[in-house]
Amino acid sequence: MNKFSIRFMTTAIVLYLLLSVGACSEKNKSQSSTQEPKSISNDWIENATAWTDSVMQMMTLEEMVGQLFMPASYASSDYFTIKQLVKYVADNHVGGIVFLKGDIESQKMLSDTLRSFSEIPMFIAIDAEWGLGMSLKDAPVYPMNGRLGRLNDEQLMYEYGHEVARQSREVGINMILGPVLDVVDKSVKNAIGNRSFGDDPRKVAELAVAYARGMEDGNVMSVGKHFPGHGSAMGDSHHVLPKVYRDKFNLDSIDFFPFRAYSDAGLSAIMVGHLYVPSIDKIERSSAISPVVTTDYLKNTIGFEGLVLTDAINMKGATGSTRLGLQALIAGADIVLAPENTSQEIRDVIDAVLKGELSIDSVKNKCRRILMYKYRFAYRTASTSENASDSLRMIKQKELLNKLRDFVKY
C-alpha cells in the first residue's frame, strides 16, 4: 500500500468517526484546546497537578475507567487495524495502545493518528528491550542485554537509553516496556535468558537504572519489568503460569534488588509479571492479580510510588480466571495491558464500581496518577521527521552502536 492510500484511508476513517460519534462534546473540545500545557519544567509536578485537576473535573466514570486500559495492536497500516484503533479511542476512551510488531513508517503514521484524534494524550508503548528493532523490523537493532551485561560503563548505558528515547519520539512512542530488571538464574531454563543483564543483582540494577534514566531524561517513560522477578521462573508466561521457587530471603536479596534500586532512583513505572511465587503468596495465581505481590510487596515493602502496569493480561499465564482486568486493579495495578476483550473488561470495572466492589475513589486515584505521568511524557512526544527511517539512522546512532559493539566484542 502506498503512502497516498494510507493517508487517504486514515483521513476517511477519522472523518467517519467524527460524524458517527457526533464529534465530541463542547466541554471536551474546550478541555482539549485550552488546557494543553506548553512545556515541562522542573516544577512539572505542580503544573501537572493543576492540569490533571482541570481534566478530571470534566471526565465521566467511563472515561476514567478507560484510562486504566491499554489494548494491544500490531503496528500495521491496514484498514482494519486503523479502524480498530480509532474505535478504542472513540468508544472505549482507552488510555493508550501497546504496539507489537510492525515497521517504522506505519508506527509513525499510527502514532500521529492517535495523537491527533484522542482528546486526552495517549500512552503509545512498545517493547524495545534492545532498541526499537526488537519490534519494528526496519529500526536499528542493538546487542541484547545479556551481552551488555559485560559493560562497566553506566554513562554509556545512559547514552544508549537517551538515544533509544530520541528514536522513539521520532515515531511517536512515549513509553518503552523495559528495561528488564530480572536477575537470571543460569541453572534454570526460562524465558528471560539474554533479555536479562545477567545473574549479578547489583550489575543488573546499575545497568538497567542507567539505561532507564537516559530514556526518561529523553522524555520517554520507562517500565521496569517483570516484578517480582522472572529470572529463576520455570516456564514462559506466554504459555503457562511459571513458578518461582526462591524463598523469601533470596527473593529479597536477589530478585527484589534491581526493583528496589529502580524505585529508589525515582523512575516511573514497573510491570508486574504473570508469576506464581508460593514463598510470598500461597494462592496459585498470577502476581499481576495478587494484592499480596502488587500492594504488600511492590508498594509497601519495596516502597514503589510510580505507575504499576500488568504484563499483557491476554497471556496464558494470566488465564484461568474471570474479570482479569478488574482483579488486577483491585490488586493494586494502575494500568491493564493487552486485555483479550477491551470493551468487556471496561464494562466489568464500571459494573464493579456501581456495585461497590471497587471504589470510585480508587478509580479516581489511578486515573490521577496516569494523567500526572501523561503530563510529563505524553505531551512531549511528537513525530518530528518527514522520513522517520532516515532519522532513526543518524550518525549519532551509528556511533553509539559501534561503541556498544566494541565493548561486547562482536
Mean pLDDT, range 230-253, rounded to an integer: 93
Gap between the Cα atoms of 298 and 16, Å rounded: 44
The answer, yes or no, to whether residue 351 has pLDDT greater than 90, is yes
Question: Cα separation of 198 and 243, whole Å?
Answer: 20
Cis peptide before 291 (omega within 30 of 0): no
CB 93 within 8 A of CB 62: yes
Domain ranges of the chain: 3-408
d(CA 196, CA 203): 11
404 with 143: CB under 8 angstroms? yes
Confidence of residue 398 (pLDDT cuts 50, 70, 90): low
Q: Measure the N-to-C terminal CA separation of the chain; round to a whole number of Å.
A: 37
Least confident of 42-46, 244-248, 330-334: 42-46
Residue pair 241/187 in contact by the 8 Å Cβ criterion: no
The chain-wide mean pLDDT, for the chain, equals 87
Of the listed ranges 42-46, 215-219, 251-255, the one predicted with least confidence = 42-46
Select from 194, 202, 132, 126 the least CA-distant residue to 161. 132
Q: pLDDT tens across 2-22, in order?
A: 444 445 445 545 544 443 443
Per-residue burial over 356-373, b = 16 or more CB atoms within 10 Å of its CB, e = otherwise: eebeeeebeebbbbbbbb
Which of the following is catalytic: 311, 334, 351, 390? 311
Annotation: CATH topology of 3-408: TIM Barrel (3.20.20)
3-state secondary structure string across 246-309 = CCHHHHHHHHHHHHHHHHHCCCCEEEECCCECCCCCCCCCCHHHCHHHHHHHHHHHCCCCCEEE
Look at 236 and 398; give whichever has higher pLDDT: 236
Active site residue 230: no
- Catalytic choice (200, 238, 252, 296): 238
pLDDT higher at 17 or 299: 299
Is 311 a catalytic site residue? yes
Backbone angles phi, psi at 223, to 5 degrees: -130, 100
Pairing between β-strand 69-70 and β-strand 269-272 as defined by DSSP bridges: unpaired
